[in-house]
Amino acid sequence: MSIRPLDGITVVSLEHAIAAPFCTRQLADLGARVIKVERPGGGDFARGYDTQVDGLSSHFVWVNRSKESLALDLKQPAAIATLKKLLKTADVLVQNLAPGAAARMGLTAEVLQKENPQLILCDISGYGNDGPYRDKKAYDLLIQSEAGFLSVTGTPETPSKAGNSIADIAAGMYAYTNILAALLQRGKTGKGSVIDISMLESLSEWMSFPMYYAYKGAEPPPRNGASHATIYPYGPFKAGDGKTVMLGLQNEREWVQFCETVLENPALAQDERFDRNFKRNEKRAELLEIINACFSKLSSEKLIARLEKAQIANAHLNDMAGLWKHEQLKARNRWTEVDTPNGSIAALLPPGLNDSYDYRMDPIPAVGQHTDAILKELGMSESEIASMRVSGAI
C-alpha cells in the first residue's frame, strides 16, 4: 500500500456536530489516525440527527469515517487523566466544545504542551477565543446570519439559508488547512502551535465579494434567487418541457454568440437596450420575455445543445437523485464504499486525485468501539478497564 501524507500522525478530537468532525475526517482521509472522544452511551449528538442512511445519521456518516471511537465521560477525573495520558504522545488535539469547556478541564496549551511541546492544539468555535462574542452560542444558521450570508441569499422577498452547513464547512476547511500548515511549521521549528478557528471569521472570508461590492457604504448585491446579482442573463431559465436550465454569460463576445446561436436572433446583439451587461441587468424583464419566447419552443436537451454549440456555460438543475447518478462522477470513478455499524454504504472519494497515494476510506465507528484497544495501548490492565466501566468513566 502506498504511503499517505499523514501516516503516523495521531489526532485526538473532542468533537461533535460538523465543523470539527469535517476537519478531522479530512485528516483521516490523508492517513492520520483520528481518535474521536465521545460520551459513553449516546456519543456525538450528531449520531441522532436523523436515520436516513440505513438507520444512521446523514450528517454523521458524512464526516466520521476512518476514525476510532473512544468513549470517555470527561466529567470524571479518571477519564480526564486517561485523555491527558493519550495526549502526551499525540500530534494534534482538535476541539469544538462549548466556549471555555476545554480550559475548565485543564486542557490548555500551557498544561498540555508542557508535557508534549510538539502538540498542535486547534480550537474551533463560533466567534473565537476572545472578544465580546466569545461566549455566545453559535450554530450554523446563526453564523450564516451574523456573517451577512442570509442578506445576499434568497429572493428579494425572503432571505434564505444555504441548503448545507456552509458555516461549519468553512470552519472545518480552515481548521484542516491550518493544521496541515502547523504540521509543516513543526517540521521546521520542532514545536507545536495553537490554532484559533472562528466560524464567523471563516464564513466572513467567503463573504468578501459581497462585502467589497458594498465598499464604503455602497448598496450590497441584491437577492435574486438563483440568478446572478449583477450579470444577466445568468441563472435559471425554463425550457419548453418544464425543466430548468442554468446558463451564464460572462462577456460581450458571449452575448453575441448567445444571440446568434442560441436565440437565433443576431440582430438582438446590436440592440442598444441590451448591448452592455449593465443595460441587460437593468432591463431584465424585457430581455426575459425575448428569451422565454425562444426557450419555450425548445426541450431542455435541445436548449443545452444550442448552449454547448455557442460555448455558453450551462448546467442541469439537478436534485439529489440527479447528483447520486451524475454521469461525470461515475465516469471519473468517484464512488466507493465504506463500512458502518449497519453495513456498507456508498461514499464519494475526497476531491483531488493524487497519483502517489490512495485516500483512506475506513469504517464509521460505533460509539466506544475502540475504547478497550486504546486503553490497552496506554498500558491499562483488564481490571483497570473494568473498573472504569463500572464507574461510568468509559
26: helix, strand or coil: helix
Choose among 49, 42, 52, 65: nearest CA to 17.
Answer: 49
Cite the beta strand spans of 27-91 per DSSP E: 33-38, 67-71
Give the pLDDT confidence of 102-148 residue by residue, as tens digits.
999 999 999 999 999 999 999 999 999 999 999 999 999 999 999 99
- Mean pLDDT calculated for residue range 191-208: 97
In angstroms, rounded to a whole number, what is the distance separating the alpha carbons of residues 269 and 349?
44
Task: List Cα–Cα distances, 146 to 51, 184, 203, 216, 284, in angstroms.
Answer: 30, 33, 9, 19, 31
pLDDT of residue 222: 87
pLDDT in the model for residue 124 = 97
Residue-wise pLDDT tens digits, 320-363: 999 999 999 999 999 999 999 999 999 999 999 999 999 999 99
Tell me if 268 sits within 8 A of 316, measured CB to CB. no
Evaluate whether residue 107 is within a structural domain.
yes
**Is the residue at 267 inside a domain?**
yes
Are residues 52 and 192 both part of a single domain? yes
For range 251-257, the mean pLDDT? 96
Whole-number pLDDT of residue 199: 97
Strands, E, within 166-290: which ranges? 194-198, 234-238, 244-248
Q: Are residues 166 and 111 in the same domain?
A: yes
DSSP states along 287-356: HHHHHHHHHTTS-HHHHHHHHHHTT-EEEE---HHHHHT-HHHHHTT-EEEEEETTEEEEEEPPS---TT
Residue 335 lies in a domain: no
Q: What are phi and psi of 211, to 5 degrees?
A: -65, -50
- Report pLDDT for 52: 97
**Position 150 pLDDT exceeds 80:** yes
Dig out the grid coordinates for 32 from the structure: 492520520
Statement to judge: residues 114 and 252 lie in one domain: no
Q: Does position 176 have pLDDT exceeding 70, yes or no?
A: yes
Q: Are residues 26 and 85 in the same domain?
A: yes
Mean pLDDT of the chain: 96
CATH number of the domain enclosing 156: 3.40.50.10540
Question: In terms of domains, do 20 and 145 share one?
Answer: yes
**Which residues partner with 122 through β-bridges?**
94, 195
At residue 18, does pLDDT exceed 80? Answer: yes
Supply the range of the domain harboring residue 250. 234-317
User: In this predicted structure, what is the pLDDT of residue 2?
Assistant: 86
Please give the tally of structural domains in the chain: 2
45: three-class secondary structure by DSSP: helix
Q: How far is C-alpha 239 from the chain's CA centre?
A: 32
pLDDT value of residue 1: 61
Q: Are 127 and 134 in contact (CB under 8 A)?
A: yes
Residue range 46-63: mean pLDDT, rounded: 97
Q: How many CA atoms lie within 13 A of 269 on its CB side?
A: 17
Q: Counting beta carbons within 10 angstroms of the beta carbon of residue 340, is it exposed (0 to 12), middle (13 to 18) or buried (19 or more)?
A: buried
Examine residue 148 and state whether it is found in any structural domain, yes or no: yes
- 274 with 373, same domain: the answer is no
**Is this prediction's pTM over 0.85?**
yes
Please report which confidence band the pLDDT of residue 191 belongs to, taking 50, 70 and 90 as the band edges: very high
Mean pLDDT of 169-186: 98
Q: Sign of torsion, CA 5 9 10 12?
A: negative
Residues 162 and 310 in one domain: no
Residue 99's pLDDT band, with cuts at 50, 70 and 90, is confident
Tell me, yes or no, whether 177 lies in a domain. yes
Does residue 211 sit within a domain? no
| 309 and 355 housed in the same domain | no
**HSE-CB for 384 with a 13 A CA cutoff:** 14
Domain finish residue from 297, 317, 337: 317
Q: What is the helix (H) or strand (E) element at residue 208, kind and residue range?
A: helix 208-213
Residues 111 and 202 in one domain: yes
158 and 238 belong to one structural domain: no
| 198 and 247 part of one domain | no
Using 50, 70 and 90 to split pLDDT, how confident is the model at 48? very high
Mean pLDDT, rounded, for 282-286:
95
For residue 224, the model assigns a pLDDT of 87
Residues 132 and 192 grouped into a single domain: yes
Helix, strand, coil shares of the chain as percentages rounded to 5?
Answer: 40, 15, 45
Please give the pLDDT value at position 230.
84
Domain assignment present for residue 82? The answer is yes
Q: Answer whether residue 270 is part of any domain.
A: yes
Q: pLDDT over 70 for what percent of the chain? A: 100
